[in-house]
Amino acid sequence: MIHAAIETQERLRTSIILGNALVDMYGKCGMTLEAEQVFEKLPICDIVSWNALATGYALNACFEKVLICYKRMRYAGVSPDAIAFAYSLNACGSIGYMEKGRKIHAEIKREGILEYDILVGNALVFMYASCDCLLKALEVFSQLPSRNIAAYNAIISALLKRDFHQEALKFQSKLQEEGILPNSITFACCLKACGNVGYIDQGMELHAVSARFGYLENEMVLGSSLVEMYAKFGFFRNAEDIFSKLKERDLFLWNALLAGYANHECTEEAFDCFEQLGMEGILPDAVTFTCICKACANINNVRKCLFMHTEMERRGFLQKDIVLGNAVVDMYAKYGLMIKAHEVLKRLPFRNAVTWSALIAGYVKHEENAAALDCIKEMQLENVVPDSITIASSLKAYGSVVATLQGQAIHAEFERRCLLAKDTIIKTALVDMYAKCGHLRLSCDLFQELTNKDVVSWNSLMYGYLDHELWEAVLDCFPRMLLESTFPDAMSYSGGLKSCGATGFVAKGKEIHTRIVKQLLSEDLIVGKALLDMYVKNGLLREAQDVFNNTCAKGLALWNVLMSGYTQSGLTDKVFNIYNKMIEECGDPDPVTFVSVLNACSHTGLLDEASSYFCAMCKSYGYIPTAEHFTCMVDLLGRAGQLENAIVLMNGFPLHPDLAVSTTALSSCRKQGDLLLGKQVFEALSTDDFSMHICMYNLFIEAAR
């Protein structure tokens, strides 16, 4: 309306001030086309006119047009001022035009404009930092007489991009020393840095400081970073609380939460998250499926893995994204489907060291070490250069097959090239290999040679002791770690708690539990499972129940450990209650769940209930029964006097009946005094185990009475 009045009175021809104001108004209202139309009608365009047009373009992210505007202004003979230079440099940074930015920087010097003017200087820092020219950005930054928050944010973001997380946090401290107020972008970047380096306390402190500055959790930029950080730490109550407050939830946010669940083995929560994002109409990307692959690797459900793989193929992600391809190989490898993992690897258009490392690690994990070593040869034929992880997996393969000579050859080669002192990963893998081969002295010597003993190195030594059941040696590692200022992680505590469970050192276990709480690791699933297991093995069910109740994300593994504890203590009613609650809260049981349930039935002679659970496991859930399941059922049938049914079931075992199943069957025959059936069981055995002969001897004695 005002514009129309100005046009009617032909004021645009006579008043450049009015014209500039109109250009500025339309640009700031997002109406860049109208701003252009007014601009083109101006009889004279001064620097204010050009800056008004450039401002509109910049505010609406039309960065190419900002640079065209700058070029036209130059052709029109109008000299840019600090504002024009700043907008042009910011546009170059936003679209990555470093060469153009360098030329503008040179023009600034030629024009005699002070390049370290606060506006121009900060724009230069942003341009160089955004174009990944970190050294130049730092050089300009250091020479600025004064800096604003935009310059600091540019440097912090550039440092994060290069994974210089600790340096980024130092700049955050520096800006506060200079009295510059951080904004939501500053906090978001620094929270990301804390998440990446594991600074839990500092991250929570930054969260509190951001709240004091008035930045709300439901603001998208800050909220996303908070969700990502808390999810990385496994603090899902905090992450979910902030997530629920955000009005807009984009794919990045969903992926951050999903990655947290997957990394902390909260499998059911990961799949629920995946389903919810679909229900909100958000299409998953390659990152989403990479997280889901990690979650799939932690469940015992082949159908779900195959379904997710089919979805990735259908959407065309697998042929485009090497990270996702590697994740699929890793998923099948961890699951033990090595043929499938190898097939996926062969179909990938590109294979790198990470791809091969995933496959080799899978073979090592499932004790197919010869196949792992064949993969190394195949990888070399493809001219793929192994990285430290590949070599570390190779050394594990040599350790597992006790191929010390091959491992020593790699060791000698690294010594010859003088590379061992520089590569902690390889040296740590050698510690692991020699420990697995039983050369603990050599393993310890190599460990002592490490100049920087990180938590991974300590864990390799500890798990070497664990493999050889040197429980006290494991526990001795903790004070030594702390003396060297290395804080144990989830894996360290898990190993320590396993040792306490095996030795009955409850006091030491409780001491470790206290440290876990202080380090804010009590909600970690690996730690939670180890704590539960330690208390269960020592018969401390009240403490076990407390740990379970205080764990936010209760994975299936935690339910199984708690159930096994109550089963061992003969509290069968508790077992069935927990089973029903688990079905409600966690979803499908796995084969380990059914071991506890069938054992509970066996302890109380509940044959009908056990038969019902056994059928559900096989038919409803599609699981193949293991020796443990068969042992429970054979025991129950034997106790019920149904010896013939027990033998029929035993003979239906897909593999040859193992010692436990056969011993249970013979014990049942002895109790029932059925010598004939006992002889049939004994004669069907392919083992010369002495205990079986004792069982048979006892059966003959009982029959003779």
Q: What percent of the chain has pLDDT over 90?
A: 9
pLDDT of residue 515 exceeding 50: yes
* Residue 660, token pair as written in the block: 């436990």
pLDDT score recorded for residue 621: 82
Can you tell me the distance from the alpha carbon of 240 to that of 222, in angstroms, rounded to the nearest whole number?
14
Look at residue 258 in the predicted model and tell me its pLDDT. Answer: 93
Mean predicted confidence (pLDDT) in 183-205: 89
CA gap 73, 67 in Å, rounded: 10
pLDDT digits (tens, 9 = 90+) for 261-293: 988 888 888 889 999 998 888 888 889 988 888
Locate tokens 């290069």: which residue?
162
**Which pLDDT value is given to residue 397?**
61
Q: What is the dihedral of CA 590, 591, 597, 601, to 10 degrees?
A: 150
Query: pLDDT tens digits, residue range 134-182?
Result: 888 888 888 888 888 888 888 898 899 888 888 989 988 898 888 888 8
More confident residue, 683 or 557: 557
Q: Dihedral of CA 6/10/13/14: which sign?
A: negative
If pLDDT is split at 50, 70 and 90, which confidence band does 510 have? very high
Asked if residue 411 has pLDDT above 90, the reply is no
Residue 639: its pLDDT value, please?
67
Comparing 110-114, 199-203, 218-222, 685-689, which segment has the lowest mean pLDDT? Answer: 685-689
What would the DSSP string read from start to end of 352-380? -HHHHHHHHHHHHHTT-HHHHHHHHHHHH
Amino acid 421: pLDDT? 56
In this predicted structure, the answer to whether residue 406 has a pLDDT above a threshold of 90 is no
Examine the pLDDT at 235 and tell me if it is beyond 80.
Answer: yes
Q: What is the mean pLDDT of residues 373-402?
A: 70
